[in-house]
Chains A and B, each alone.
Chain A
Amino acid sequence: MADTTTKPLPSTLSVGLARTKLEVREFFREKEALIFTFFFPIIFLGIFSAVFGSTDFNGVNAATYFLPGMIASGIFLSSFQSLAISIALERDEGLLKRLRGTPMPPQSYFIGKIGQVLVTSIAQFALLLVIAGLVLGVDIPSEPSKWLDFAWIFILGAASGSVLGIAFSVVPKSGKAASAVITPVVLLLQFMSGVYFVYSSLPGWMRDVASVFPLKWLAQGMRSVFLPDGFQVNEPGGSWQLGTGAIVLTVWLIVGLFLAQRVFRWTRRDAG
C-alpha cells in the first residue's frame, strides 16, 4: 500500500509512446482503416496511371502528374479522416470514458494519436514513392531544397490535419455515423482541391472555395516538390505560392489547436 503513494507516476511521454505503439498496432490490424485511409491514394495512383497510361501531361506521364495530389491526399486522410473517425468511435463506444478513469494523462492520448498519424503517413508516403519510382516510372526529385520544402509542407499538413480531425470528431452524433459524415466531407474536399482533377481545369468558384481549406495548399505545395518548375504557369497565380500556402496551413493549425481544445470531450454529448 505504501508503494502506491510513493512510486513515481509514469511520465506523460512514456505513456504517450505506449499509446502510440497501441494506436499503430490497432491501425494496421483494422482492415477498413487500412483500405480507406492507407491504401486509398496508392490504389488511385495506380488507377490513374493505368487509365491515362499513354497520355502526355505537358511532358510528364500520368503517374508523375497525379503523384503530388495522392501524397497530399494521403497525408490528409491519415491525419484528418483517420483521427476524426477513430476518435468519434472511441467516444461513442465509451473507450474514451474508460481512459478518462485511468491515470493516463490526456496529453498522452494525443501524443498517441499524433504518433500514429506520423508513423502511418510516413509509411504511406514511402510506399507511394517506392511504387511511383520503381513501378510507374516517376522521376523522384533529388535536390535537397525540394526535400526541405517537402519536410515543412508535410509537417504543417499533417499537424493541421490532426488537430482539425480531433476537433471534427465531435461532429458525428454517433460512432456509426462517423464514417458516413466524415468520408464525404473528405471526398468533396479532395475533388475541389484538385487532387483527382487537374486543378486549373476546375471552375473558378470551386477553386475559390477550395483555396480556403488546407488540402488545396497541401496539394499545391506537393506539386512544387514533385513537378518540374515549368508547371508553375498552370497554377492560378502563375507560381507555387509557397508563402501563401505556409500562411494558410499555419492559420488552420492554430484554429485547429484552439478548436480541438475547446470542443474535445471524453464522453458523449448526452452524458451530462
Chain B
Amino acid sequence: MENDNAVRVRGLVKRYPDKVAVDGVDLDIHRGEVFALLGPNGAGKTTTTEILEGYRRADEGEVSVLGTDPARGDRRWRSQLGIVLQTSRDEAESTVLELVSHYAAYYPNPRDPDEVIAAVGLEEKRKTRPRKLSGGQRRRLDVALGVIGNPELLFLDEPTTGFDPEARRQFWTLIENLRTSGTTILLTTHYLDEAEHLADRVGVIADGRMIEIGTPETLGGRGARTARVSWSDADGPHELRTDRPTAEVAALMQRFDGEVPELEVRRPSLEDIYLDLIGKANAADAAVSIEAGAL
C-alpha cells in the first residue's frame, strides 16, 4: 500500500470480437491528483475505466488499482472506490435522503448522508424522488452515491454530459472540493475546458492507444504552444508561428504603416492541441492502412 500511485497500468490490451479496444496502454495516477482521460467516442476511455473498476477483464497487461488487481478485487477493495457510471438508474421510488442513507449501509466507514447531500447541493431536494430531479441534479445524486463510502479513488465517467454551462460550473466546484479533501479522481470527459479546469494531468487516448500524457499546460509539447500571428494583404491571408509575436506585430505595423488588416495573435487552446493530437493519430492510422492496402 506504500506506493504513490493509486493506479498503475502497463501494457493493457483489451480485444473485442470486431476490434482492439485498448492497445497497449500505460498509465500512472498519483494519489491525490485529478487525472482526466480525454478522447473521442470509441477511443477506449470507457473500456479502460471499466477494467480499472473491475467490470471487465484485461486480455493482456498489468493492472493495479489501490494495490490490487481489479479482476481479484474483493469487498474491502470495492469499499475504497467510488464509481459514477456514465448512465445509471436510481431506485425510482425512494427519496434522495433514503437512497444516500441506504448506500451508506454498504460501507465500513461511510460519510454522513446529510453532509454528503449538502456537499452536492441537494439539501432542498432531500425528500424528492430521482425522477423529479433535473438532469444536473440527478448527476449530483450519482456523485453523492459515489462518494458516500468515503472513497480513496473516485471514477467519474463523463459526469457533465448534457449540462448547461451554469450546472457545469457548479459541478466543477463540487469536484474541486472533493480534490481538496484528498480524493484521487479519474475523470473521463470529452469537454476540453473541463479537463483544463479540473485536471492536474491529462491523458489523451485515441484508437486504444495513449498518445500523450501531461499537464494541461504542457500537453502537445512546447512547440504546440507557439503563438500564431495572422493577417491579410493583397496576396491573401498569411499566418506565421513565432516565439516573439510582439516583435512580429511591430514589424508588420511598420510594413503597413498603421493598421494591419485582419491582424490576429493567438495561442492554441487545449482544444486546438487536442484536435491536433487526435488528427495526427488519425493521419498515422490512415497512412498505415494505405500502406497495408498497397501491399
Q: Which of A21, A97, A103 contacts B107 (CB 8 A)?
A: A103
Count of inter-chain pairs, beta carbons less than 8 A:
90
Q: Mark B68-93, 1 if CB is under 8 A from A, else 0.
A: 00000001101111010101111111
A95 touches B75 (CB 8 A): no
A7 touches B56 (CB 8 A): no
B106 CB, nearest partner CB in chain A, Å: 5
Q: Which of A7, A18, A90, A272 contacts B89 (CB 8 A)?
A: A90
Please tell me the number of chain A residues within 8 Å of chain B, measured between CB atoms: 31
Residue from A10, A30, A98 having most chain B Cβ neighbours under 10 A? A98
Chain A residues with CB under 8 Å of B76's CB are 5, 9, 103
The chain B residue with its CB closest to the CB of A4 is B109
B103 at the interface (CB under 8 A from A): yes
The chain A residue with its CB closest to the CB of B17 is A272
In Å, the complex CA distance between A1 and B151 comes to 9
A161 CB, nearest partner CB in chain B, Å: 22
B85 touches A97 (CB 8 A): yes
Chain B residues with CB under 8 Å of A26's CB are 91-94
A92 CB, nearest partner CB in chain B, Å: 9
Q: Mark A6-28, 1 if CB is under 8 A from B, else 0.
A: 01111000110010011001100
B214 at the interface (CB under 8 A from A): no
Q: Mark B88-102, 1 if CB is under 8 A from A, else 0.
A: 111111100010001
A3 touches B89 (CB 8 A): no
Q: Which of B94, B107, B145 contacts A22 (CB 8 A)?
A: B94
B256 at the interface (CB under 8 A from A): no
Chain A residues with CB under 8 Å of B145's CB are 98
A101 touches B91 (CB 8 A): no
In Å, the complex CA distance between A272 and B149 comes to 27
In Å, the complex CA distance between A14 and B105 comes to 8
B122 CB, nearest partner CB in chain A, Å: 18
In Å, the complex CA distance between A25 and B92 comes to 11
Residue from A8, A29, A103 having most chain B Cβ neighbours under 10 A? A103
B109 touches A101 (CB 8 A): no
Q: Mark A58-88, 1 if CB is under 8 A from B, else 0.
A: 0000000000000000000000000000000
Chain A residues with CB under 8 Å of B88's CB are 93-95, 97-98
Q: Which of B16, B75, B85, B109 contacts A3 (CB 8 A)?
A: B109
B91 touches A95 (CB 8 A): yes
Chain A residues with CB under 8 Å of B98's CB are 22, 25
B150 touches A95 (CB 8 A): no
B106 touches A101 (CB 8 A): no
B55 touches A22 (CB 8 A): no
Would you list which residues of chain A between 164 and 191 have a CB under 8 Å from chain B?
none
Would you list which residues of chain A between 30 and 58 have a CB under 8 Å from chain B?
30
In Å, the complex CA distance between A1 and B108 comes to 12
Chain B residues with CB under 8 Å of A93's CB are 88-89
B152 at the interface (CB under 8 A from A): yes
B78 touches A94 (CB 8 A): no
Chain A residues with CB under 8 Å of B106's CB are 10, 15, 18, 102-104
Q: Which of B56, B78, B94 contacts A103 (CB 8 A)?
A: B78
A112 CB, nearest partner CB in chain B, Å: 10
The chain B residue with its CB closest to the CB of A27 is B93
In Å, the complex CA distance between A90 and B78 comes to 21
A11 CB, nearest partner CB in chain B, Å: 11
The chain B residue with its CB closest to the CB of A266 is B55
Residue from A4, A29, A94 having most chain B Cβ neighbours under 10 A? A4
In Å, the complex CA distance between A11 and B1 comes to 25
B53 at the interface (CB under 8 A from A): yes
Chain B residues with CB under 8 Å of A21's CB are 102
B91 touches A9 (CB 8 A): no
Chain B residues with CB under 8 Å of A4's CB are 79-80, 108-109, 150, 152
Chain A residues with CB under 8 Å of B83's CB are 98, 101-102
Given contacts A25-B93, A95-B90, A105-B75, contact A10 B105 (CB under 8 A): yes
Q: Return 25 A-B CB contacts under 8 Å, by A number.
A: A3-B108, A4-B80, A4-B109, A4-B152, A5-B1, A7-B108, A7-B109, A9-B108, A21-B102, A22-B94, A22-B98, A25-B94, A26-B92, A29-B93, A29-B94, A93-B88, A94-B85, A95-B90, A98-B83, A98-B145, A101-B55, A102-B78, A102-B103, A102-B149, A103-B78
The 8 A-B pairs at the shortest CB distance, nearest first, are namely A93-B89, A29-B93, A101-B83, A103-B79, A7-B108, A103-B78, A94-B88, A18-B105
17 further interface pairs, Cβ-Cβ under 8 Å (given A29-B94, A103-B78)? A4-B80, A4-B152, A5-B1, A5-B80, A9-B75, A9-B108, A18-B102, A22-B98, A25-B93, A29-B93, A30-B92, A90-B89, A94-B89, A98-B145, A101-B53, A102-B149, A272-B16
Interface residues of B (CB under 8 A from A): 1, 16, 53-56, 75-76, 78-81, 83, 85, 87-94, 98, 102-103, 105-109, 145, 149-150, 152
